[in-house]
Amino acid sequence: MKHASKRNFFKAAVLCAGLASASGTAVAQTLTMGVRGGPESMDPHYSALGVHAAAAKHIFDTLVWSGTDLQIEPGLATSWRPIDEDTWEFKLREGVKFHDGSDFTAEDVKFSIERIPVVSGPTTTTIYVRRVAEVEIIDDYTLHIHTDGPASTLPNDFIRLFIVSSEAAADYSTPETAAGGFNSGAATIGTGPYKFVSWEPKGDLVLERFDDYWRGMGAWERVIRKEIPNDSSRLAALKAGQVDVINYVSSIDYLALANDPNVDSIIGDSVYIMNLQLDQREQTPKVYDNDGNPMAENPLRDLRVRQAIDHAIDRETMVEIVLEGLGKPANQLMPPGFFGSNAGIPMPEYNPDKARALLAEAGYPDGFKIDLYCTSDRLPGDGAICQGLGQMFTQVGIDTNVNAISRTVYFPAQANLEYSVFMNGWGTLTGEASYTLGGLAHSNNPEVKLGAFNRIQYKNEDVDRLLQAGATTLDADARRAMYEEAMALIMADKAYISIVQLQTVWAAKAGMVTFEPRYDEDTLAFFIRPAN
């Protein structure tokens, strides 16, 4: 099916088979996927980035599964329930085999949970186990997870708890040994639908079908994930027959595909929101006066300056022109309808005159200069949105030098607090607010295990109080109210400025495959089926 115009945003229902799983008759053929980004290593516990997790899901299973709509479902755990205020009981799936033929048991879950804080990299995966105090094995298929107080969202956190083999990974669970053990394949033993064959960093990940997979045998005998960061090159590879499916079709290419009978395009809403982040330190490294000198005081700490930056952003133009219609204006850190999003937050007003007036009121009538950083190869339109922001800020007097760079450079520098103004996408992958607000907007406080991704030293004591209370409140209605109140406070502070919610386009050889787009944008071979 084709899209007649950029307004024709259907949910790919025409192309979807409504799959709950890909089990069934296997066909002996290869699926080659061209993907924009690949894993940073083959250790699933190293990185929290979506591109890393998408690759890991081919080899490893998670304790709790996240469906296409990000609602949690049984995975390697078949059920879970709180048995007291700080203990959850998880029942595990019996009869599951690792790729080496060994049995999956509770020992592998305990080992994986305890391994994560040791080997996690710069984009830390500790957020997924931050509430775990102790793992108690009751029997081979029963676990009691003891938490540091009531942990209402623990099952949601476990959607990225990848289970590795305690036996195969035993010798590869230190920062010094982890990468070598997993990248070589020695420890890359999972329970997932595909077995590891080889991986070349920034190149191909080659997989072969695991015929004893507990969900059933996948459709593809062999899967190759080819990392092709350039959007045009990825589409060219599809048209040349070098790959069968690609993700992250650019907005410009998407419009052109409407007239190509050899290509099917599939569109879906994304969980990712593009957010601007403004450093709140007293002194900040990438803000300058108009002569290019570092500023003695950080102007981004002034609410009027942050409000001016917000008023400078034309979200409608960003969607319609920069993204060619593939997105929606955003006014908060999560998509509408997610648990804890606040329907009462108004859409920010684009008003460049008000932006200039606020800058003058704050003592910067002639503006100042900034370096703006973003990724260029992670999410659709990331670099283009960044360039658009640079033009909008310059128009109101904030002379902006845009740096759209590779995610492999961007994220380590962001973690080291090297930026003052930066933009990247954040997806609420658990479907609820504690993941996003607890990670981004709580002050960075290891003692309460919140704020791990707060790279701007944002702190609002009322927000901290609400988020700490929400994390320990089992009553869903009360917890939702706390998160909605926190969201309103965060967005009013303007240290985080949400810009657009993305939409994502895949493309495939015409009539070759069917699949249902996932909210988290993962392209998973097991859930891609031959069309015939």
pLDDT in tens, 311-365: 999 999 999 999 999 999 999 999 999 999 999 999 999 999 999 999 999 999 9
> Containing H/E element for 467?
helix 461-471
Mean of per-residue pLDDT scores for the chain? 93
pLDDT of residue 189: 98
**Is residue 243 a contact partner of residue 235, using CB atoms and an 8 Å limit?**
no
Task: Name the band, by pLDDT with cuts 50, 70 and 90, for residue 69.
Answer: confident
As a whole number, mean pLDDT of residues 86-104 equals: 98
Dig out the tokens for 464 from the structure: 């901290």
Q: Which residue has the higher pLDDT, 430 or 168?
A: 168
**Is residue 19 a contact partner of residue 529, using CB atoms and an 8 Å limit?**
yes
Q: State percent of the chain over pLDDT 70.
A: 95
Q: What is the per-residue pLDDT across 31-46, written as a single tens digit (0 to 9) for each?
A: 999 999 999 999 999 9
Percentages (nearest 5) of helix, strand, coil residues in the chain:
25, 25, 45
Q: Enumerate domains of the chain plus CATH numbers.
A: 271-503 (3.10.105.10)
Q: What is the per-residue pLDDT across 252-272, written as a single tens digit (0 to 9) for each?
A: 899 889 889 999 999 999 999
Q: Is the pLDDT of residue 56 over 80?
A: yes
Residue 434 backbone phi and psi in degrees, to 5: -60, -35
Q: Is the pLDDT of residue 288 over 80?
A: yes
- Rounded distance between C-alpha atoms, residue 285 and residue 419, angstroms: 7
Q: What angle do CA 423, 428, 432 make, to 5 degrees?
A: 140
Task: Name the band, by pLDDT with cuts 50, 70 and 90, for residue 14.
Answer: very low
Q: Is the pLDDT of residue 10 over 70?
A: no
Q: What is the per-residue pLDDT across 376-435, written as a single tens digit (0 to 9) for each?
A: 999 989 999 999 999 999 999 999 999 999 999 999 999 999 999 999 999 998 889 999
As a whole number, mean pLDDT of residues 441-447 equals: 95
Dig out the tokens for 277 from the structure: 């982040």
Q: Is the pLDDT of residue 28 over 60?
A: no
pLDDT of residue 258: 85
As a whole number, mean pLDDT of residues 293-315 equals: 97
For 10-101, strand residue ranges (E) read 27-35, 64-66, 72-74, 77-84, 87-92
- 13-37: string of b/e by CB count within 10 Å (b at 16+)? eebbeebeebbeeeeeeebbbbbbb
Residue 343: other Cβ atoms inside 10 A: 8
pLDDT of residue 27: 52
Q: Which residues contact 63 (CB under 8 A, 6 or more apart)?
A: 75, 76, 77, 90, 109, 158, 161, 163
- Rounded distance between C-alpha atoms, residue 341 and residue 296, angstroms: 37
pLDDT of residue 15: 37
Q: Which residues contact 523 (CB under 8 A, 6 or more apart)?
A: 33, 35, 54, 245, 247, 506
Amino acid code (one letter) for 184: S
pLDDT of residue 256: 87
Q: Is the pLDDT of residue 455 over 70?
A: yes
**Is residue 215 a contact partner of residue 209, using CB atoms and an 8 Å limit?**
no
As a whole number, mean pLDDT of residues 221-228 equals: 98
Q: Is the pLDDT of residue 448 over 80?
A: yes
DSSP state of 345: P
- Rounded distance between C-alpha atoms, residue 524 and residue 196, angstroms: 15
Report the Cα 462 to chain-centroid distance in Å.
27
